[in-house]
Chains A and B, each alone.
Chain A
């Protein structure tokens, strides 16, 4: 097994090292690192803006680039948290707690150095996890029939919407709304136009670009405008030589790195618990097992090392269910699946054997991209720190233009731009009503495949709905349904407990861009 994995990985490197692919990987991590640093822009908005650009690209290059934006933004986000105390990127919110005190003590450079090393350790482990686990998952998933696929999607959707940020009930509601938006357009089997309300342009369905840019572009700008957080960048003058951590710091950070990495890699496997939860869990764990927990929050280097390693191992691990099962764990993964589907590639367990260049090329590009990021972040730290000062008031009008032209360019169709605007306003209303729109995209991406498999399963079982819990013939499906039921029961129990004991206060500072989970 190790031998085949290594041969496949070797092949992956030959794909990822093609000049064309390595260039796009570099573009991806560079843009990702940049938006990670910029307060007010996140990876979700950026990937959405870049999505129309990928239409004309080769599938491998497109995926490498979009993935690069995602993990690149994690490196940048840490800089923003540590030097400015701005939790712009939810996974790094917890890093502020100890990162900023360290910066105030003049040890910001050390904190960044520890972060970069921890990130690389975490990412490397996450990638290794993917190399060995993904093919194993694929070999199991290849045996799945329509009913198993269906119940797995149900579990994925439920976990993705209940475990993420915000009220679980509202999360599920958003997923259902996403499923409904996914229905719009001509029915695959009969060609009947559904939920188009007579609008001819909707016959092809809602474009994922219009949906993503409306929800995570326009709606997000409407939320953030004139809410600018004041920040203080007087401590943010870090140079490369400040970044080398001392031997004592490395010694203190070593075990937190390892623990963080392990927690992150576990969280990655449960859909819905992405990097954000991983970083919070690992910070809490580290604080709990520490001999002097009172030091946390005042500038403990362990409080930076552990969550950062955890975030990065979880970010890489996030790709496992996405690429091997075709089930996205969060919005970013849904967008990457969407990009695959635009290229005409059907996500699912057959992806690894049908498009090994994408799968193994992506894994190999993770290594290359992470090395690039270390190189980008250490000598160029001064440049990134300068970028922190770019104000939001210049960012969002420029981004709005890129949204307009990107959506227009995807099909040379102004209607889609209008649709984006309408979805954006609607998305903002949802935000005002306390919904987090991220699960909409999960439902939207999985919806059509869910319906197709459900119909097929019903056809095979002659309309017997109990086929999903037929333990004799479909044991795997039964397990998935049972887990889904468990999730729902768990949420109800938690809700009842909250009702009895009163609301639990949020532990996090309110972040400027909460929509990103």
Chain B
């Protein structure tokens, strides 16, 4: 398990990301009518905030090495398996929920997400997924009447 990046680089990335977001916002804002301070158009606020965010991003990068605030030690290790499973769970829910219904979507979501933990066994994940599925279908389909079919084949 390697550190993702050395701590002193973190604030450069942080600042750069904010500057990028700021520039995108400012550019988008400038494509709408900007108006004047008296009669502010829809573009005025996005433009101003985009510029401000870019400035703050620059400030973060500029003070990167100086602003050590004692939080560097908290940088996490790379955890690809856990991350992949946590992303895959809801992604499967979206894919299956739209086409095959709540039951398979719920099961797949919980099952895959549970596998992200290193100590979870296939059996444990299966039992957890099965029980959450039963609970979820009863609660959301039968009690709360969510308009999502329990099982549907070939899309809605």
Contact = CB atoms under 8 A, between A and B. Distances in A.
A425 B148 contact: no
A421 B132 contact: no
A172 B106 CA distance: 38
A398 B42 CA distance: 42
Interface string B114-156: 1011111000110011001000100010001011100000000
Interface string A337-375: 000000000000000000000000000000000000000
A400 B89 contact: yes
A476 interface: no
A401 B71 contact: no
B148 A412 contact: yes
Contact of A225 (B14, B29, B56, B79): B79
B40 A455 contact: yes
A4 interface: no
A195 B104 CA distance: 35
Nearest to B50: A180
* Size class of the B contact interface (CB-based, 8 Å): 35 or more
From DSSP, what is the main secondary structure of chain A's interface residues?
helix
A463 B110 CA distance: 55
B56 A176 contact: yes
A222 interface: yes
Contacts of B83: 222, 225, 428
A225 B86 contact: yes
B45 A451 contact: yes
B94 A421 contact: yes
Interface in A472-517: 495, 498-499, 503-506, 510, 514
Interface of A: 166-167, 169-170, 172-173, 176-177, 179-180, 183, 187, 189-190, 192, 194-195, 197, 218, 221-223, 225-228, 392-394, 396-398, 400-401, 403-405, 408-409, 412, 414, 417-418, 420-421, 424-425, 428-429, 432-435, 451, 454-455, 458-459, 462-465, 495, 498-499, 503-506, 510, 514
Interface of B: 4, 10-11, 13-14, 17-18, 21, 25, 28-29, 32-33, 36-43, 45-46, 49-50, 52-53, 56-57, 59-60, 63, 66-71, 73-76, 79, 81-83, 85-87, 89-91, 93-94, 97-98, 102, 105-106, 109-111, 113-114, 116-120, 124-125, 128-129, 132, 136, 140, 144, 146-148
